[in-house]
């Protein structure tokens, strides 16, 4: 079976609807057809400052949400990145074949470092995409389900795999991005041209999976819509309504055309009211199951330790091959 790998950062108290529709929901679907590896990438989460106690809690909450959404630890390997030491070990090797200019062109680094100020942004943030490449290449992943914002990092991963294979001999599989176009960029409810984002969105622009249903309904009701009154799908001229239709369609399985037809002659208020109900209905059971998994943190930690062990069986074999190829002396 083909391999799939993806990760999510424990950088917030909850996943948001963009994480869910752009990535995690697809992870669940891919479990049937792929040998799946999914991780909570806590090493990535310390690149822009963090609080140790909060990180520990968010790592557990992230794992609990993944289980609640439907990642099945029997069928998939679910683990925490820092429990698999091969990730930073391979990242170091890849750092040494990554050009400084090449890394400097990563738009996520440019955006985030501009916000923090060039002097304050960490070297970890700069080299973040190289660690991400290591995450993927360690497992010989064929497919990487992510949102559109990760496309450039995936390109870098492919370039590094190719470069390593050409220089030192074929070692890595070539990963393909798995990006579902319709939900690749869920946008901010208050700024519908920007992506919904944990760090960049205002609280009202963001729908978190674990927040109060009443708050969610309120945020959807106050979402920025566009001029005119007609409910039509046109991301260029009507990004606000189009985003709401995208979310509605993705959560119900109804096509956009079908929705546009159903709301002909109705107003934005009707659409928002119905969408709020749809969203709450989907996330309520996720909230309940997340709470259930968090009730027994020791059990959750045990499950993650088993996942890390399964992950290491694969990652250590890849790293051994890499070390050998680049000429590191094997321990006698
Ligand atoms: N708005 C989005 N639409 C579709 N997919 C999205 N993803 C994130 N935002 C959207 C996808 O979610 C996965 C996990 O994201 P992450 O936690 O690794 O990273 P992120 O891109 O850093 O998420 P945020 O919310 O945008 O956080 P910040 O603000 O820190 O940048 C990824 O597959 C991502 O594509």
* Residue 197 beta carbon below 6 angstroms from any ligand 1 atom: yes
For the CA of 196, the nearest atom of ligand 1 = 1
Instruction: Look at ligand 1, atom 27, and give the residue with the nearest C-alpha.
Output: 198
Q: What is the pLDDT of residue 287?
A: 98
Q: How confident is the model at residue 228 (pLDDT cuts 50, 70, 90)?
A: confident
pLDDT in tens, 66-84: 999 999 999 999 999 999 9
Measured N-to-C along each axis, helices 239-252 and 268-294 cross at an angle, to the nearest 10 degrees, of 50
Identify whether 219 is a catalytic site residue: no
pLDDT in tens, 125-143: 999 999 999 999 999 999 9
* Residue 207 beta carbon below 6 angstroms from any ligand 1 atom: no
Q: What is the mean pLDDT of residues 44-60?
A: 96
Alpha helices (H) in 192-296, listed in sequence order: 213-221, 239-252, 256-262, 268-294
Q: Which long-range contacts (CB under 8 A, 24 or more apart) does 190-196 make?
A: 190/223, 190/224, 191/224, 192/223, 192/224, 192/239, 192/240, 192/242, 192/243, 193/239, 195/18, 195/147, 195/148, 195/149, 196/16, 196/17, 196/18
Q: What is the pLDDT of residue 165?
A: 98
For the CA of 147, the nearest atom of ligand 1 = 35
Q: What is the pLDDT of residue 325?
A: 97
Record the tokens describing residue 331, joined without a space. 């321990």
On whether the pTM is more than 0.90, the answer is: yes
Residue to probe by mutation, ligand 1, list 4, 6, 19, most atoms within 8 Å of CB? 19
Q: What is the DSSP string of 58-79?
A: HHHHHHHHHHHHT--TTTSEEE
Residue 199 has pLDDT above 90, yes or no: no
Record the tokens describing residue 61, joined without a space. 């909450």
- How much is the mean pLDDT over the chain? 95
For the CA of 185, the nearest atom of ligand 1 = 3
Look at residue 25 and give its three-state secondary structure.
Answer: helix
Q: How confident is the model at residue 18 (pLDDT cuts 50, 70, 90)?
A: very high
* Residue 189 beta carbon below 6 angstroms from any ligand 1 atom: no
pLDDT in tens, 142-192: 999 999 999 999 999 999 999 999 999 999 999 999 999 999 999 999 999
pLDDT in tens, 93-119: 999 999 999 999 999 999 999 988 888
ipTM of the complex: 0.95
- What share of the chain has pLDDT > 70, as a percent? 100
Select the more confidently predicted residue: 114 or 319. 319
Identify whether 310 is a catalytic site residue: no
Q: Report the DSSP beta bridge partners of residue 296.
A: none
Which residue spans within the chain are E strands per DSSP? 3-8, 35-40, 77-80, 143-145, 176-178
Residue 49 has pLDDT above 90, yes or no: no
Residue to probe by mutation, ligand 1, list 149, 193, 209, most atoms within 8 Å of CB? 149
Q: How many other C-beta atoms are found inside a 10 Å radius of the C-beta of residue 36?
A: 26
Residue to probe by mutation, ligand 1, list 12, 13, 15, 18, most atoms within 8 Å of CB? 18
Select the more confidently predicted residue: 230 or 317. 317
């Amino acid at each position: 079976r083909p391999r799939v790998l993806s990760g999510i950062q424990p950088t917030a108290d909850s996943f948001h609807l963009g994480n869910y529709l752009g990535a995690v929901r697809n992870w669940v679907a891919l479990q049937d057809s792929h040998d799946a590896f999914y991780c909570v990438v806590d090493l990535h989460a310390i690149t822009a400052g963090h609080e140790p106690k909060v990180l520990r809690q968010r790592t557990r909450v992230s794992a609990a949400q993944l289980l609640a959404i439907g990642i099945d630890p029997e069928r998939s390997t679910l683990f925490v990145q820092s429990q698999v030491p091969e990730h930073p070990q391979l990242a170091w090797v890849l750092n040494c074949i990554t050009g400084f200019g090449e890394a400097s062109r990563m738009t996520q680094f440019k955006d985030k470092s501009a916000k923090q100020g060039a002097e304050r942004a960490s070297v970890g943030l700069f080299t973040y995409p190289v660690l991400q490449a290591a995450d993927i290449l360690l497992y010989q992943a064929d497919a990487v389900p992510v949102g559109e914002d990760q496309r450039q990092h995936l390109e870098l991963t492919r370039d590094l795999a190719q470069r390593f294979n050409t220089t030192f001999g074929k070692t890595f599989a070539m990963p393909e991005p798995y990006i579902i176009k319709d939900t690749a960029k869920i946008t901010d409810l208050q700024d519908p041209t920007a992506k919904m984002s944990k760090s960049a969105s205002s609280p009202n622009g963001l729908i978190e999976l674990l927040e109060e249903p009443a708050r969610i309904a309120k945020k959807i009701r106050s979402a920025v819509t566009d001029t005119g009154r007609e409910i039509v799908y046109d991301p260029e001229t009507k990004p606000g309504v189009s985003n709401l239709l995208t979310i509605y369609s993705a959560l119900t399985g109804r096509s956009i055309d079908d929705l546009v037809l159903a709301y002909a002659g109705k107003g934005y208020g009707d659409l928002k009211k119905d969408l709020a109900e749809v969203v709450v209905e989907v996330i309520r059971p996720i909230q309940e199951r997340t709470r259930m998994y968090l009730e027994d943190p020791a059990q959750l930690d045990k499950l993650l330790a088993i996942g890390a062990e399964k992950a290491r069986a694969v990652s250590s074999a890849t790293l051994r091959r890499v070390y050998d190829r680049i000429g590191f002396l094997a321990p006698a």
